[in-house]
Amino acid sequence: MTTTLMTLLCLGTLPKPRLWAEPSSVIAYGKQVTIWCEGTLGALEYHLYREGKTEPWDRQTPLGAGNKAKFFISYITEHYAGRYHCYYRSPAGWSEPSDPLELVVTGAYDKPRLSALPSPVVASGGNVTLQCGSREGYDKFILTEGERKLSRTLDTQPNPNGGVQALFNVGPVTPSCSWTFRCYGYSRNYPQVWSESSDPLEVLVPEQEALRPDVKMREMVNGKPEGPEQRRVFTWLLQPFCSSGTCFCVIPTCDLHGTLPKPRLWAEPGSVISLGSTVTMWCEGPLEAQMYHLSEEGSPSPRESQTPLKPGNKAKFSITSMTERHAGRYHCYYHSPAGWSEPSDSLELVVTGAYSKPSLSALPSPVVATGENVTLQCDSLHGFDRFILTEGEEHKLFQTLDSKPQLNRYVQALFPVGPVTPSHRQTFRCYGYHGDKPQVWSHPSDPLELQVSGGPEDPLLIPMESGPLGGE
């Protein structure tokens, strides 16, 4: 039996654990980072996986009598960058995978330069363009605000003076918003390996009041002058939200007791949707939420805004006919009397049917003896960068692998499955996609059913690996 993660599929799926990084998921080269996986008190063991690998990156038992495990990196390099998931094992079997954690390493390349056009001093209500540029051949630039809060990601364009650039539009600005920006560059082949950050750039808005903007905002929230013992937390995003003639300084979080809890975002009937089908995204926050925003990563402003369904604590965002342009990574926020919330965990909305289907076959045969292994070969003449293998009629994610070129112009991936037992009959499909569009998949291959012969009626153990799915 291999050491690959084995998932028990006879009692139903256990709740997924929570995965996060401290001090952050964006770490400078050479620094330390701790990755935490939190499950249930009955968990016996935790596995941490990096996408594209079939073996666990690390295994840990829970700390003491607690419900979480600690995975420590003492000196981070680009080799640790990537997308991670964790699982836990309890007496009832293996859990669902956690939501993905993208571990980013900065400092791998020379820093780009960031400047404001025409000037970093902007009149109230005006706009400014932030230019991120470099002589390095980056594919994308990322603009961040404050303590590396992700603001926007744009493809690079040729700079008339040489090198590449991206132009980020910011505004309208107001005196109550003070922003400090940095930008990074990266290659699309290594999206979690960033350059050094640019030098910080502060956008200044001349004050029109004698009070400092942050104190003025605090007094507006609190209703009285701020004392030295009082503390407020402020974070800012880029674009305003306007409704019925009223505009908010977007997205200000004026939280009297620290950052508001993040909402929960999921998709129905699922986050993998075929072209032309309908999908509904739900954002759930507290009962006091007054407005919900849905944002797509890389977009400068909210994709849609909704008031909560009455009575209730969630908002509904519907797509009646799914297309490639709807595929992507989404977050949602809510606004309450206490301010704006943290963003939700990311939801990756995948569209299938954008390319012709690959072929799936079993080597040496789809008829497998109990306790034996089998290799599933997914291949295509279409030059896909990666293949995804799914299992069952619900297309449960099984494993994701890079494609390998073959002499006959095909690309393929070989998925190991096993050891198998006769208690389940498995049906597999595979999809292909390109690295620059990880949420746009091909049609599924024709289904392939494994037939297991001989042996006792034992629970089926199969390897499981995660790919670019998010949400629920």
We report the CATH number of the domain holding residue 148 as 2.60.40.10
CA distance linking residue 86 with residue 334, whole number of Å? 28
Domain span including residue 275 = 226-352
Domain boundary among the residues 58, 85, 106 is at: 106
Predicted pLDDT of residue 371:
85
Whether residues 15 and 98 fall in one domain: yes
pTM of the model: 0.48
Of residues 468 and 59, more confidence is placed in: 59
Listed ranges 12-21, 235-244, 293-302; the one with the highest mean pLDDT: 12-21
Whether residues 342 and 243 fall in one domain: yes
- Cβ(153)–Cβ(176) below 8 Å: no
Please report which residue ranges of 71-224 form alpha helices under DSSP H: 213-222
Of residues 256 and 368, more confidence is placed in: 368
* CA 107 vs CA 76, 102, 421: distances in Å: 11, 16, 48
Whether residues 96 and 119 fall in one domain: no
Q: Tell me the CB-side half-sphere exposure of residue 317, using CA atoms within 13 A.
A: 25
Structural domain includes residue 412:
yes
Neighbours of 339 (CB within 10 A): 21
Whether residues 297 and 190 fall in one domain: no
CA distance linking residue 127 with residue 105, whole number of Å? 31
Q: Tell me the CB-side half-sphere exposure of residue 342, using CA atoms within 13 A.
A: 11
Whether residues 191 and 268 fall in one domain: no
Predicted pLDDT of residue 227:
40
Structural domain includes residue 215:
no
Whether residues 81 and 181 fall in one domain: no
pLDDT, mean of residues 89-113: 92
Whether residues 95 and 117 fall in one domain: no
Predicted pLDDT of residue 57:
87
- Cβ(450)–Cβ(368) below 8 Å: yes
In this predicted model, what pLDDT tens digit does every residue of 157-190 receive, in sequence order? Answer: 998 888 999 999 887 776 655 578 999 999 988 9
Comparing CA positions, the residue from 419, 415, 404, 398 lying closest to residue 467 is 398
> Domain tally for the chain?
4
pLDDT of 118 > 50? The answer is: yes
Predicted pLDDT of residue 399:
87
Residue 32 — pLDDT band, cuts 50, 70, 90?
A: very high
Structural domain includes residue 213:
no
Whether residues 231 and 344 fall in one domain: yes
Residue 15 — pLDDT band, cuts 50, 70, 90?
A: confident
Predicted pLDDT of residue 211:
32
Whether residues 290 and 395 fall in one domain: no
Local structure of 426: helix, strand or coil: coil
Instruction: State the average pLDDT for the chain.
Output: 79
Min mean pLDDT across 122-126, 413-417, 454-458 is at 454-458
Percentage of the residues of the chain whose pLDDT score is greater than 90? 46
Predicted pLDDT of residue 189:
87
CA distance linking residue 281 with residue 274, whole number of Å? 15
pLDDT, mean of residues 92-109: 91
Predicted pLDDT of residue 338:
82
Whether residues 374 and 389 fall in one domain: yes
Domain boundary among the residues 352, 385, 413 is at: 352
Whether residues 86 and 120 fall in one domain: no
Domain boundary among the residues 324, 352, 380 is at: 352
Local structure of 337: helix, strand or coil: coil
Predicted pLDDT of residue 461:
37
Residue 215 — pLDDT band, cuts 50, 70, 90?
A: very low
Whether residues 347 and 252 fall in one domain: yes
In this predicted model, what pLDDT tens digit does every residue of 320-354 receive, in sequence order? Answer: 999 998 999 999 989 888 888 888 998 999 999 99
pLDDT of 472 > 70? The answer is: no
Comparing CA positions, the residue from 332, 27, 333 lying closest to residue 196 is 27
CA distance linking residue 296 with residue 305, whole number of Å? 12
Structural domain includes residue 216:
no
For residue 362, the cross-strand partners are: 376
CA distance linking residue 51 with residue 400, whole number of Å? 7
